Amino acid sequence: MYDLVVVGSGVAGLTAARWAAGSGLAVLVLTKGELSHSATRYAQGGVAAALAPSDSPDRHLADTLAAGAGLCDVDAVRVLVNEGPARVRELQALGAAFDTHGPSGEPALAREGGHSLARVVHAGGDATGAEIERALVASVRAQPGIEVREGWFTTGLRVAAGRCTGVEAVDPQGRPAAFEARHTLLATGGAGQLYAVTTNPRLSTGDGLAMALAAGAAVADVEFMQFHPTALHTPTMPRPLVSEALRGEGAVLRDERGEAFMASEHPMADLAPRDVVSRAMASRMVDRGLDHLWLDATGIPEVARRFPTLAASCRSLGLDPQHDRLPVAPAAHYLSGGVATDLDGATTLAGLWACGETACSGVHGANRLASNSLLDGLVFAPRVAAAIRRGKDGPDPTGVLRDLTPLVPAEPPAPVPASEPPRGSEPEVGTPAASTAAALATLQGALTRDAGVRRDSASLARAAAAVEAVASDPGASAGGRAARELRGLVAVARVLVAAATAREESRGAHIRLDHPSASERFLGRFVAVGGGGGAAVSFAPLAVPQPEAVP
C-alpha cells in the first residue's frame, strides 16, 4: 500500500509528489502520457508572484479578486499570494531558469492581462511551462521514495466505508490493475477537450473531475471555462497560444479595419482581464461575420528573439511577427472550477485530495487572473503533502468547503460503479475507433457552438440535448481509452451545461446573452455532488462576504 497515489504529472502533481516523498511518504505517480507531457509544458505564460519591491501580496490579491468577479474565496487567495513568492524562489533553487535582467540576476518581470503592474516571471520568453516541467521532472526522477508509472490510465477511484482507498487503472497494454493507498491526489489538469477549439493538449479530458463525480465528491464552478483571447487561428490543434506577455510589451488587438478596439472596451485596454477581452473579440467576430481578429506585435523590438515559441509557430504559417499582424481568436483554455477543496486540498470524500486545475480551491472565482495557474499548483500541492504528513484525513470547513458545507452530506452518496474492467487487454493506445472519434467531434462541436464564449438559454438547451445524444452513442460505450475519456467528458459536460443554464447572469468567464448583467442573487457557487452524470446542480451562497479589492 502507498501513502499517496498522485494521478497526473503536471506542476501540481509533481510538486505534491516531491513534497510528500521529501517528508518520508511512499508515493506512486500515475500518468496516462509521458511524465513530461502535461498541460504544464504548453503554458507560455509565466508565474505571477509579488517579487518586486514595488509590489505586495495585497496588490496581487486585489488584482486576483477583481478578475474573479466576486467569486474568489479571499482566504484561498491570501494563501496563494502570501505563499507564492517563496514557492517561486524554491523552484529557482530547484534549477528552473527564469529570465533575468541586470547584473544582480533579478527575475525579469512582465505585465499581463488584469495585473496592475509587472509581476510575472517567464522562462525562455514564452516557454515557462516547459522549463518548469523540465525542472520538476528531473527532481522527481532523482528523488527516492517516488515510483513513476507512465502510460497508465486511471479509470476510477476505489471507495470503501465513505473514504477513498486508492485507484483503478489500466496499464499501457490495457490490462487492469488496482492500487491501494491511504491517500489519493487528483492532479489531472483541465477539460479543454470538451471544445473543438482549445489550447489544451489531447490529454486534457477532465479525468479527475469525472472520477470525483462518480465517487460522490463535490464539484463546483464548472460553468467558468476561461477562453484565452489570443490563440493563433490555425487548423492546428491544440491551438498555439500567443503569450499575454506580448500585450504586456505593447501588442494590440485590431479588427478587420485595423482599429485597436480594446481601448473603448475597458480602462486597461488590451491588458483587461481575459474574460473581458474574449467577450469583446467574440462580439466583434459574430457581428461582422469574422472567424478571427488580429494581434499587432510589430512594434515590439526583436519580438522573434524575445518570444521564440511564438516565432516558431508563426514561421510554420509563413508569418513573421515583426512584420505581420497575427490571426487570433479565443480558444478554450482553463477551467476555473473543479473538485471542491478546503485550504489544504482536501475534498468532501475522506482520503481524496485535489490541486491544480483539477481543483476548485476558490483562488480563481469566475475568471482566472493571468499566470495564477502555475502558481496555484506550486502553492497548494505542498499544502496537500503537509496536511497528509501531519495526519489530516478529511476536509475542514475552510475556503470553498465553507461555502458548500450546507449542501454536502456527512456521508457521501454511494459511488456509481465503474464499468467492469476489460478481461485481457484492450487497445488503450493509438487511433480511436471511428465511432468514438465521431462522437467526440459531435460533443466538441456542440459545446463550442452552444456553450462557448457566448451562451443563452436556447443554446444551452441545444448543448444539453447534444450531450445526452453523445452519451447514448455507441462510440461512448466502446472499449479502450478513447471511449473512457469520452465518457468522462460527457459527465463533465453535463455539469458544465447544467450550471451554465442555472446561472442566469453574466459573471467572469460565463457570458449569458439573455442575462447580460451580474446579479447579487448568484453570488455563490453551483455544486454537483455524486451521481455519476452529475447533471443536477444546487446553489450555495457565499458563506462570508467577500472584501472589496485592496487599493
Q: Residue 482 belongs to a domain with what CATH number?
A: 1.20.58.100
What is the per-residue pLDDT across 201-219, written as a single tens digit (0 to 9) for each? 999 999 999 999 999 999 9
Backbone dihedral region of 275: left (phi > 0), alpha (psi from -120 to 50 degrees) or beta? alpha
Number of structural domains the chain divides into = 2
The last residue of one of the domains, among 313, 332, 351, is: 332
Beta bridge partners of 346: 353
Average pLDDT over residues 378-406: 93
For residue 168, the 8-state DSSP code is E
Condensed to tens digits (0 to 9), the pLDDT of residues 57-66 reads 999 999 999 9
295 within 8 A of 242, measured Cβ to Cβ: yes
Over 60: is that where the pLDDT of 474 sits?
yes
**For 346-364, what is each residue's pLDDT tens digit?**
999 999 999 999 999 999 9
Task: Give residue 548's pLDDT.
Answer: 54
Instruction: Provide the 8-state DSSP code for 120.
Output: E
- For the residues 157-171, what does the mean pLDDT come to? 95
Q: Which of 332, 359, 377 is the last residue of a domain?
A: 332
DSSP 418: P
Q: Is the pTM of this model over 0.75?
A: yes
Q: How confident is the model at residue 422 (pLDDT cuts 50, 70, 90)?
A: very low
CA distance 198 to 334: 9
**pLDDT tens, residue by residue, 424-451:** 444 444 444 679 999 999 999 999 999 9
Dihedral, CA atoms, 327, 329, 332, 337, nearest 10 degrees? 130
Span 131-147, average pLDDT: 92
Q: Is residue 226 part of a domain?
A: no
Q: Report the pLDDT averaged over residues 287-298.
A: 95
Alpha carbons 320 and 69: distance in angstroms, whole number: 37
Domain residues for the domain of 447 are 434-541
Q: Is residue 151 part of a domain?
A: no
In a domain, 102, yes or no: no
Contact between residue 33 and residue 150 where contact means Cβ atoms under 8 Å apart: yes
Whether 274 is catalytic is yes
**What pLDDT is recorded for position 320?**
94
β-pair partners for 327:
294
Distance CA 2, CA 146 (A): 10
List the beta strands (DSSP E) in 234-350.
252-254, 293-296, 326-335, 338-340
For 13-63, how does the pLDDT look when each residue is reduced to its tens digit (9 = 90+)?
999 999 999 999 999 999 998 887 665 665 556 899 999 999 999 999 999
- Of the candidates 59, 274, 481, 512, the residue annotated as catalytic is 274
Q: Is residue 251 part of a domain?
A: yes
Residue 130 lies inside a defined structural domain of this protein: no
